[in-house]
Structure formats: C-alpha cells, structure tokens
Amino acid sequence: MSVRQLRVVGVTGLLAALCFLVGFLVDPTPPVAGAPASQVLAHASASAADRTAAFMFALSGALLIPFAAGVRAWFADISNAPRWWGSVLLAAAIATGTLLIAASTLFFTLASHPVQNSELATLLSDLINYAFIFVGFGSLLVVFALTALMLATGGPLALLGRIGVPVTLLQVVFLVTALFTSGPLVAGGVVTIVCFSAAGLFVTLTAIAMLWFARLMALASH
C-alpha cells in the first residue's frame, strides 16, 4: 500500500470519527428508551439540531466502509494473519455502516415530522434507540476483527491491539443495554454512549496509526 493510499485511508477514518463526534455534540441528550411521552414530545418540539445530528451519524457510517476496506488491504500487505479476518472486518463495517445509516434515517424522519400522538412518539423514539444500539452487533465484530489483526501483526500495532481488548468487551456491554429501560444501563443512556464512543476512539487511534506509518514510510523513502 502506497504512502498516499495510507494517508487517504487514515484521513477517511478520522473524518468518520469526527462526523460521529459532531453528531453527538449537536444533540447529546435525546430521550432514552422507555422515556415518558412528555419528554419525547418536548424534545421533538424543542430541538432543532436532530436533523443535523442524524445526517452526521449517517455520514459517519458511510465513511466507515471505505476506511475498513483500506484497513483490510493494509493488513493484507503487512500481516500474516488469515485473510478471512480482514474479510470479517470489512463485512462487519458494512453491516455497521448500513445499520447506522438506517437508524439515522429513522432519527431524521422523526425530527423532520414531529408527531403529536404520545404513543406513536414513544414508539418511534424507542425504535430509534434500539436501532442505534443494534448497530453494536456490527461494531463488536469490527473492533474484535481489528484487534485480532493488530495482535497477530505484532510490533507497535500489537500495543494498540491490547487497547482493543477492553473496547471489544465494552461493545458487549453496549449491546446488553438494549435489555434495560431504566437505571444506569438504560438503552440510550450514559453507559450506551460511553461504550459506543470507545469504538469510535479505537477507530480514531487506528486512523492515526495509519497516518504515522505513512509518515515513517515517507521518511524512509528519502
């Protein structure tokens, strides 16, 4: 993989993480799963940022796919790990990106056409929360496959792979929050946000590592 290609893939990963961060910062406190209808209706009528947040989340999911494709090609060049691990990474990224775009579509729709019926509003709000949480099935495989590739490659990447181990476990916790509608593990609550943000941080660190390797390759060629 050329220096230029490494840089493009690394920047793509950083953009994916940045879009997700912007989406979260724009609307950090949407109603959690099981929130009362009054809260859902109040948020839908008072927040003008939901459409922007939904668009940024969807863009993040779209950018994740070419990033994973580039990472897969990179590890095929530098690692002796089984090639099918990279295929799992790419397939998981496609699933994650697709689910994130689908969840964002629901989010965007509710923000564009806020409903007045309390039961319908609650149903749609919970549907959005669970759609985002089920993105965790894909993110779990992304982080797991990426961690396995890094550990198998060795060197500096193995150190980054060790970070991926607890991040993988956090994706399991992320999925478990789907089973709760109250308490600290409530779906869409703080624990959900922290766990999924950990996956975003791991993607960011991977992108930075690619840019660092690209710099080393550029220096070595001179």
- Residue 45: the pLDDT is 66
- Residue 222: the pLDDT is 67
27 φ/ψ sector (left φ>0, alpha ψ -120 to 50, else beta): beta
Q: Give the C-alpha distances (Å, rounded to integers) separating 131 from 12, 74, 101, 136, 209.
A: 24, 31, 10, 9, 31
- Residue 221: the pLDDT is 74
Q: Give the C-alpha distances (Å, rounded to integers) separating 35 from 38, 41, 94, 152, 188.
A: 8, 10, 31, 44, 10
- Residue 73: the pLDDT is 95
- Residue 16: the pLDDT is 96
Work out the widest C-alpha separation in the chain, in whole angstroms.
66
- Residue 119: the pLDDT is 84
Token pair belonging to 205: 């660190």
What pTM does this model have? 0.91
Cβ partners under 8 Å of residue 214, min gap 6: 3, 6, 7, 10
- 70, 8 contact by CB (below 8 A): yes
- 115, 44 contact by CB (below 8 A): yes
- Residue 30: the pLDDT is 79
Q: CA 219 to CA 64: how far, in whole Å?
A: 28
What is the domain extent for residue 108?
Answer: 3-220
> Which parts of the chain register pLDDT below 70?
44-48, 222
User: What is the tally of structural domains in the chain?
Assistant: 1
Q: Concatenated DSSP letters for 12-79?
A: HHHHHHHHHHHHHHHS--PPPTT--HHHHHHHHHH-S-HHHHHHHHHHHHHHHHHHHHHHHHHHHHH-
